[in-house]
Structure 1
């Protein structure tokens, strides 16, 4: 190449350099964008395939169409957890409380068979356990609450053996009845922790069923039953607290308030409680031997929620208690046990919340400013806690967690033990759960209340 040709080539290269640099930058941006973009995205992503998540996703997928709604749920089995008390008490089969998830998830919804690992509301993404990210326009968090057996010293080693069971876990619920049948005497203890929990009546319901079982076996005089609760009264709502105090006294069940389980020695069969409150014994520990121990473990919000920008100080999804919309991210909603809603965490509450959430989310998607848009719906804190007190006996607590006032569906005093209330809870509500709630068509007994108890008084 001549000197002239070499100079010309260098000049051409210099002229092209800025263009090549711009092309490299543009290519880099494209590569970065491709790497950052989630491989899949949906109009609505629902995190959680429990009762609350399915009640929402079934309706939304029907309204929005196929594959517009994705459900992030790792479990292949769906459990009807309200039945676990009956299973633990020997009144229902474990099979009655479960269905394959594939059979209960809406066919129009996309089922993502993984656990959520992280939530990024700033980027509108959910990161899955395998690192994959899923995008969304709207997010519904219905991830439930986690059992924290590790929060009690020695409990993880003892649970499922050494006479220790829990109706709160599908792994151990069948152990409850097995261990109860093995009791011949001694102490039978039942615990309630200081943390928020799902179905706050369940810790004491199994105590009443155990009492009945021991009486049927003719050994009740040889068994001392104790209910140890970290709370200051047996039930949060005064009307039902009075009723349950009376039931416990009539059965000879000792109620120990402000006693929080802190340690279990399985081989020695000893449970240690810390005394809470401000009384003279506050801060002290009490160790009690047991033959049978039913533990309601401490519970907490799932870690991927508490670590996210969606969480409040307690780790739960921070939502408006009336609209269920997030306090800071308007395209995010939450309901059920993982939400910050200040009411009892029950399936009945989730059903009522689902109606409000679906109405408000669809209203937002369709344009709330439209002239024909319906007004926003509001949740009033309604919840229900059926308190089983024996075979064919039940106190049907219904109330607003926001006001603390009873909100009963039927005309009779639901604080009294009724066979009708038992039949409703044991036979009717399970059918409604499978056939209607999970399909999004059951939102609670409000319509029935208008006829059966128009004033809603207790």
Structure 2
């Protein structure tokens, strides 16, 4: 049997989290031996998918070759990981190779569980069934909005957690704005079906987002979880839970259906010894070090960190993880702390964004001295024109200079 290949630091995942950590590590210490396990040949800037689905951004501008985004010093292992053996300090690959590590960073991201909704995969991309959550279907979202001539438009949100807490409602507001501009409001019914019981995870933002929904005539339906889609007959079935906890099912007709799929950690992660009961890699919420294996760290969507899963969260997590990993390498205390910061630019219409920034315990933490609850054209330009180049040329290159966020004074 061939001896396992060995690297000082192995990162599973070449997405936002893995690439940012690799770049930052090598910027600080170019002599490090860093390997990234990533099968994909391309890297997407997913935060712009909402704008692509809204017809105001090109999909081609969201993608770059993986080779161009990874640091040149990295050893790129173009395979899928299938198993982690923390005792042997090894990662097993799809091609049966084994990679040994001194330190491991788990940054696999999250998987989209399309198959948990009966009939969805058979109709996604046709029959008016669309989703912004995949590059293969996001352009069809705009086709559905652009060709919509009236009727019932449905938008769904699955049980938490999922990528970007505000994304499911953003596209509903953009669609409603577009329908209004085209004079379709009077012959259009827009319903937002949320599997949870609240419009947003941070209570302070809920009243303002409810006002946004009301302005757009978006009907809010809570505790409605999409479980099946019949594309040819244009019917959606929901599991409904009432105030007493009783369950039932209802069926709704639609002319357009935007689906946010259920999401979870990759299967091999859920089957590993690294996870909690919910299947997320269990790390200390402040240091990002694994709670059981001190040579393993994790961040981003696959981690157990109790905050929203966004690229903005990773931007704050990565420097903490890198500093603490290097401290561990040097035999020093892990002094860097992550406070749970994340942000979600909630697009509330064309040219309007409410920037929701918050940390652990739902504490609102604005970066700029602007009203965080007010829709802003400035933040629309930030989301559309500033954040993409910052992502490609700053964050993924390992630069860490930043503006400090502060708790909102009430």
TM-score by length of 1: 0.87
Contact 2:27–2:398 (CA<8 Å) still a contact in 1? no
Per-residue Cα deviation, 1:144-184 (whole angstroms, up to 9, x for no partner): 00000000111111111111111011111111001111211
Q: Are residues 1:37 and 2:41 paired?
A: no
Alignment correspondent of 1:413: 371
Q: Are residues 1:173 and 2:131 paired?
A: no
Q: Are residues 1:354 and 2:318 paired?
A: yes
Pick from 361, 365, 368 the counterpart of residue 403 of structure 1.
361
Contact 1:312–1:318 (CA<8 Å) still a contact in 2? yes
In structure 1, what is the Cα distance between the partners aligned to 2:247 and 2:81? 38
Q: Are residues 1:328 and 2:292 paired?
A: yes
More helix per residue: 1 or 2? 1
Written as runs of structure 1 = structure 2, the 5 A alignment for 1:149-298 is 149-279=114-244, 282-298=246-262
In structure 2, what is the Cα distance between the partners aligned to 1:418 and 1:307? 44
Q: Are residues 1:342 and 2:270 paired?
A: no
Q: Are residues 1:144 and 2:73 paired?
A: no
Contact 1:43–1:68 (CA<8 Å) still a contact in 2? yes
SS in 2 for 1:403: helix
In structure 1, what is the Cα distance between the partners aligned to 2:399 and 2:87? 32
Written as runs of structure 1 = structure 2, the 5 A alignment for 1:5-20 is none
Contact 1:153–1:262 (CA<8 Å) still a contact in 2? yes
In structure 1, what is the Cα distance between the partners aligned to 2:355 and 2:98? 43
Q: Are residues 1:389 and 2:348 paired?
A: yes
Regions of 4+ moved over 3 Å: 62-67, 277-280, 442-445, 454-458
Counterparts in 2 of 1:66 and 1:112: CA distance versus 1, 3 Å: farther
Structure 2: stretches of 5+ with no match in the other structure:
none
Pick from 441, 446, 453 the counterpart of residue 399 of structure 2.
441
Written as runs of structure 1 = structure 2, the 5 A alignment for 1:102-117 is 102-117=67-82
Structure 1: stretches of 5+ with no match in the other structure:
1-34, 370-374
Per-residue Cα deviation, 1:261-284 (whole angstroms, up to 9, x for no partner): 01101111001111125337x311
In structure 1, what is the Cα distance between the partners aligned to 2:242 and 2:86? 39
Alignment correspondent of 1:423: 381
SS in 1 for 2:247: coil
Contact 2:24–2:319 (CA<8 Å) still a contact in 1? no
In structure 2, what is the Cα distance between the partners aligned to 1:67 and 1:411? 39
Alignment correspondent of 1:307: 271
In structure 2, what is the Cα distance between the partners aligned to 1:83 and 1:442? 22
In structure 2, what is the Cα distance between the partners aligned to 1:276 and 1:193? 14
In structure 1, what is the Cα distance between the partners aligned to 2:12 and 2:343? 24
More strand per residue: 1 or 2? 2
TM-score by length of 2: 0.97
Between 1:136-145 and 1:63-72, the stretch displaced more is 63-72
SS in 1 for 2:79: coil
- The structure whose Rg is larger is 1
Per-residue Cα deviation, 1:289-344 (whole angstroms, up to 9, x for no partner): 00100000000100111111111111111111111000110000000000000110
SS in 1 for 2:226: strand
In structure 1, what is the Cα distance between the partners aligned to 2:242 and 2:21? 40
